[in-house]
Structures are given as C-alpha cells and as structure tokens.
A and B are shown apart, each in its own frame.
Chain A
Amino acid sequence: MGYLVVAYLVFWGITFFYILYLARRQRALEERMARLRARLNPELQEEHDEPR
C-alpha cells in the first residue's frame, strides 16, 4: 500500500508543481508586459494604476 500511495503522490505532486511553474512563468510575463506598456505609454500606465 505504501508504494501505491507514494506513486500517486508522485503523479499529483509533479502535475501540481508543473502547473505552478507554468502559472509563475505566466505571471512573470504579465509583469514584463506591464513594464513594457509603461515604457511605451506612461500616461496609459498612470490611468491604469489609478484606483477604481
């Protein structure tokens, strides 16, 4: 039973960490994109940063 539990922890664990890794990369890209937008059009960025 121990091997079975470890095996399924491997399946779920690796899947979970891979999805987490993709989500982090996605977030990092979004931050880069926001910085790029700010460089291209600072006025737009200020509008974007204003509280709604």
Chain B
Amino acid sequence: MRSWERIWIGTTIALMALAALAVFVYAPREARMGDVQRIFYFHISTAWTGFLAFAVALIGSIAYLRTRAVRWDQLSHAAVEIGLVLLTMAIITGSLWARPVWNTWWTWDPRLTTTTITWVVYLAYLLLRNAVENPETRARFAAVYAIVAFVTVPITYLSARLLRTIHPIVLGPSVSAEAQGQFGLTPRMVHTMVLSLIAWTLLFSVLLWMRYRVQRAQEALEEIEEAMEA
C-alpha cells in the first residue's frame, strides 16, 4: 500500500469514528422523536453517497461511450455495486426509523416507492452485465443502461418535494402537509450532519478505489488467461 493510500484510508477511518462520536455524543436529543432521530445522520449520508455513486456511474458510462476506454466501464461497474450497497443501508435504516415514527416498517409512499424503483433498476444493471458474454457488447449495453437508469435519481430526490408524501424533508421547506417526522436542525445537528456526509463521501471514495482496482485486476487476469489458453 502506498503512503498516500495509507493517509487516505487513515483519514477516512478517523472521520468515520469522529462522525459516530458526534452522532451519539455531540448531537442533541431531538425533542419529539428522541434518540431514534440519530439514525438520520447516517441514513441521509448513505442515501447521498448512494446517489453520488450512481452519478459516478453516469459519468463513467458517458466517458466510456465517448472514448471506448475500458477503465470507464470498470469504474461504472464498481460505482453501481457500491451505490447499491449504500442504498440498501439507507432503505433498511429508513425502515428502522419509520417503525417508531410512522408506526409502520414500510409504506408505498412516493419517496419510498421511487427509492425502491431506483434500487431495482440498478440491481438489474448488475444482472444485465452478467447476462452478456462479449465484453465490448456488455460494456456498451451497460453504459447505455446506466445513463438511462440515472433518470431514477432526480425523480427519487424530487418525489418528496413535488408529491404528497409522509417522508420528511429536513433540508429545505416541505411542501407536504402529511410529512411525519419533520424536525428543525439545530447548529449541532448541522455540524454532525456535515461531518457524517464528509466521512461517508470519503468512505465511498475508498471503497470505489478498492472495488475499481479489483475489477481492473480481474479483467486483466481473465484477458491473460484467455490469451494463454488460445
């Protein structure tokens, strides 16, 4: 491991620990929801980094179609996989937050429905990749698919802002009178949220780098093995 990688990973671990400390110690207890509101800090961070991952996949896919350089396809593949992991965390923890606040584990609310659609659409991306054998065809199909799939991201983001929903909007005004679990952010809550967002974004960058390297090494090895067998 190179020294800059050590610094990068070390900073990420330190910031993640600091963010966790801020969530449990520094951030105040929310008056109405109590301690369960502390789920919010990592819930919003995983959702944000999940969508960031899909944005990286979008950029990688556009770059692949323009340049046909395989590294962009590898980057998109890695980003989608990590995005799915992060979005899975956001969905599960959102459900854990919903149970005490909404009195239900799940409801087909616009925000929850569009998030599920996004999750399924990107899961299908990975399945599509497995279904195509030719590497060039696979990369081309995957790139087009990832570009189209990204439509689900702004739809999910806007769903709670444009439609009647019970999902709270913490950043910015809520348009829905039905929103439940809405709360105002105190300065300490804002500090904790910003710290969590930075820590998770950094963690995402480390995971993306690790996953991308694995992908590159795997494809290079497969190419050599195929050439040797031919």
Contact = CB atoms under 8 A, between A and B. Distances in A.
B89 A14 contact: yes
Interface size class of B (residues with CB under 8 A): 20 to 34
Interface string B39-60: 1001100100000000000000
Interface in B113-138: none
Contact of B88 (A8, A14, A25, A39): A14
Contact of A22 (B36, B88, B211): B211
B64 to A, nearest CB: 22
A11 B38 CA distance: 13
A29 B100 CA distance: 45
A22 B42 contact: no
B130 to A, nearest CB: 16
Contact of B214 (A14, A15, A29): A29
The SS class assigned to the A binding surface is helix
Contact of A4 (B36, B92, B218): B36
B174 interface: no
Interface string A29-52: 100110010010000000000000
Nearest to B217: A29
A6 B85 contact: no
B96 A10 contact: yes
Contacts of B221: 29, 32-33, 36
